[in-house]
Amino acid sequence: MNAEEVELLSDSKYRNYVAAVDKALKNFEYSSEWADLISALGKLNKVLQNNAKYQVVPKKLTIGKRLAQCLHPALPSGVHRKALETYEIIFKIIGPKRLAKDLFLYSSGLFPLLSNAAMSVKPVLLGLYETYYLPLGKTLKPGLQGLLTGVLPGLEEGSEYYDRTNTLLEKVAAAVEQSAFYSALWGSILTSPAVRLPGVSFVLLHLNRKLSMEDQLYVIGSDIELMVEAVSTSVQDSSVLVQRSTLDLILFCFPFHMSQATRPDMIRILSAALHVVLRRDMSLNRRLYAWLLGFENNGVRTGPRSTRQSNPEEHASQYFNSFSKDMLVQ
């Protein structure tokens, strides 16, 4: 209990508020089916709304736990929607400063929801992020990786909410600074296999192909080691689609003739990428060979102009001998 809450306890009306919240929370203990949870949430909402003049929500830890439980994927969408109503009421009451302070308390339930949410729940959840999380700006940073891991599943190709999710991520990147955003993104890709495809796809979509990697170093994030580890892990993913997208990323971000990575990092990525040959998949092999032999995915030659040969075979041979062979035979 912080000093603010202790001070408020001298107010008899606030003490009544605490007692009412306690009573409302008791209803969750006696819930035996999902309809009981909706009823319990409704009672809690009423108590919160009746005491909205107090910006300090009592029993917030217990409330956070109960709300997270109500967002369990096994529960129906009706419970999820009702719980999201409660979140919105709380966020309105406490304001952005307190939300930033208690970010983990409320986010632990929200972040895992999108990938399991029903179609009717997704817009409500995205609305919460847009309305209450975006204004937090740089104070979002401590929970940024969790937010990205939670939001990236919405970037499913052809999904009804693809554009909205993409726009949300772009706004988050602008709010927290690009470098911090991409650091968190690489962290998500490294630790969460489920978001690798949408994560890598997001990076590919937002790379400017007309600029060199040197002109968009923010994509690396604040720690190139993290990016290297994420890319190396991603290119060995069990999904061919993830591997394919990651190789596309490697082709652009880590060309042998002008990579931003150190030699050991390049060898780390190359060692990981070589595993794709075991798949015996032409689409993967083509990308790997293009990277090693100095071509873009579409067959356009890369490398310093002085090394580009008019004959593709000569170009491949010269590029390989000049840039990639030495690392390959390490």
**Domain count along the chain:** 1
In a domain, residue 16? The reply is yes
How do residues 15-52 score in pLDDT, each as one tens digit? 999 999 999 999 999 888 999 999 999 999 999 999 99
Asked if 201 contacts 155 with a C-beta cutoff of 8 angstroms, the reply is: yes
Shortest CA distance to 213 belongs to which of 172, 247, 254, 180? 254
295 beta partners: 301
State mean pLDDT over 302-311.
71
At 232 the pLDDT is: 97
pLDDT band at 309 (very low <50, low <70, confident <90, very high): low
In a domain, residue 182? The reply is no
In a domain, residue 98? The reply is yes
In a domain, residue 18? The reply is yes
CA pair distance 44, 22, nearest whole angstrom: 9
At 267 the pLDDT is: 93
Task: Provide the domain limits for residue 103.
Answer: 1-146
Indicate whether 14 pLDDT > 80.
Answer: yes
- Write phi, then psi, for 170 (nearest 5 degrees): -60, -40
In a domain, residue 102? The reply is yes
Shortest CA distance to 110 belongs to which of 57, 153, 70, 139? 70
In a domain, residue 85? The reply is yes
At 307 the pLDDT is: 63
The pTM (predicted TM-score) of the whole model is 0.92
In a domain, residue 221? The reply is no
Greater model confidence, 115 or 46: 46
Indicate whether 199 pLDDT > 70.
Answer: yes
State mean pLDDT over 163-192.
97
Three-state secondary structure readout of the chain: CCHHHHHHCCCHHHHHHHHHHHHHHHHHHCCCCHHHHHHHHHHHHHHHHHCCCCCCCCCHHHHHHHHHHHCCCCCCHHHHHHHHHHHHHHHHHHHHHHHHHCHHHHHHHHCCCHHHCCCCCHHHHHHHHHHHHHHHHHHHHHHHHHHHHHHHHHCCCCCCCHHHHHHHHHHHHHHHCHHHHHHHHHHHHHHCHHHHHHHHHHHHHHCCCCCCHHHHHHHHCCCHHHHHHHHHHHCCCCCHHHHHHHHHHHHHHCCCCCCCCCHHHHHHHHHHHHHHHHHCCHHHHHHHHHHHHCECCCCCECCCHHHCCCCHHHHHHHHHHHHHHHHHCC
In a domain, residue 324? The reply is no
At 323 the pLDDT is: 87
Q: What is the mean pLDDT of the chain?
A: 92
- Percent of the chain scoring above 90 in pLDDT: 78
Indicate whether 270 pLDDT > 80.
Answer: yes
301 beta partners: 295
